Amino acid sequence: MSADPQTAPSAPAIREGMGFFERYLSIWVALAIAAGLALGQLVPAVPATLSRFEYAQVSLPIALLIWAMIFPMMVQIDFSSIVGVRRQPRGLIVTTTVNWLIKPLSMFLIAGLFLLVIFEPFIAAARAREYLAGAILLGAAPCTAMVFVWSYLTRGDPAYTLVQVSLNDLIMLVAFAPIVMLLLGLSSIEVPWSTMLLSVFIYIVIPLTAGYLCRVAVIGRRGTAWFETTFMRRLAPITPIGLIATLVLLFAFQGEVILANPLHIVLIAVPLIVQTGLIFAIAYLWAQRWGVPHGIAAPGAMIGASNFFELAVAAAIGLFGVHSGAALATVVGVLVEVPLMLVLVKIANRTRSMFQLASPDGATAG
């Protein structure tokens, strides 16, 4: 059953909701992969030279690019919105439970099943564990930025989506490291706590703090309207530039491994796709059964289904290095996410009629 014009975004609305970069993200990622592979093969001196700029096993060029990716996302988070947690608390319960209790464990189990068991004939054991580590990092990082696009495309409640994202970012500050360390330990993958805490500090604490201080300063001087309409528009291109440049360097470093094992890209993608569909179904159907309005349920399911892949890429590089299988696995997550999430957007819009027009406490749905 197709959604009618009153309940689903039109084609022009979808094009307006997704920027040019977001709409064709998978294409840009594929081009970045090709450019990185070409750079590593044709001009090997470039990655070799850049790999020398390290401090405490952190690649400084990539760290700068990753800050460029993450900072604009952190600036847009309004932590004062969390006071809205009292509105529709069931939506927050579903989101936080799925994101922090179900999703990391299901990613660990699904990725482990495929990479270590089903695909065992095709992937060496040591490499498979590196890919599993990358999948674990993806599973422990719920989406922060792109969820606003998914919320728009499903006619989600933008104010409530902001509450969901802000609360998840605060939880991420304290939960990301323990969850990742626990699951890596269960996978017999050893990572020193000092290395994990350094990665959290560099790639979460610093950009989150800087983003908050920047937001407060700009709004204090120029006002909220100027911040939202002018400042964020000027800042917006920084994230895609940082992402593409990071991917080019990653694949320049990874070139030999990828060219020797092209099938691995497909094999890594399989558990990531299965995990995304499963988490969306759990959150979406739980919310529907619990009477959560569609405008809250759909974005909430999207947060869990998609990943904060910028953070996952950063953590993989910080923990395992730019040449690692973990870094490669997180990049595959970037490659498959957008087309897969657009399929889930269509499913959410076509199943809007499953949801009641009002929640049990009387709030109007979607």
The domains of the chain, with CATH numbers, are 11-40+59-354 (1.20.1530.20)
Listed range (92-96, 221-225, 255-259) with the worst mean pLDDT: 255-259
For 149-177, what is the mean pLDDT? 83
Q: How far is CA 234 from the centre of its chain?
A: 22
182, two tokens: 């626990």
Listed range (8-17, 130-139, 216-225) with the worst mean pLDDT: 8-17
Name residue, tokens 């304290």: 174
Q: How many CB atoms lie within 10 A of CB 260?
A: 8
Dist. CA 198–CA 310, nearest whole Å? 16
Residue 152: which of 341, 363, 354, 359 has the closest Cα? 341
pTM for the structure as a whole: 0.77
Dist. CA 22–CA 244, nearest whole Å? 12
* Residue 34 Cα distances to 176, 255, 280, 319, angstroms: 32, 10, 31, 25
Name residue, tokens 């660990």: 108
* Residue 353 Cα distances to 283, 357, 358, angstroms: 17, 9, 12
pLDDT at 233 over 70: yes
Dist. CA 155–CA 13, nearest whole Å? 10
For 104-128, what is the mean pLDDT? 95
pLDDT at 144 over 90: no
pLDDT at 269 over 90: yes
pLDDT at 12 over 60: no
What's residue 81's pLDDT?
66
Residue 160: which of 38, 292, 277 has the closest Cα? 292
Which ranges of 201-307 would DSSP assign to H, the alpha helix? Answer: 206-222, 224-226, 232-235, 238-260, 263-289, 294-305
pLDDT tens, position by position, 54-85: 766 666 787 788 788 778 877 877 777 666 55
pLDDT at 343 over 80: yes
Rg (CA), the chain: 20
For 96-114, what is the mean pLDDT? 95
Query: Is 155 within 8 Å of 9 (Cβ atoms)?
Result: yes
Residue 154: which of 299, 329, 5, 2 has the closest Cα? 299
Q: Which of 64-68, 244-248, 303-307 has the highest mean pLDDT?
A: 303-307
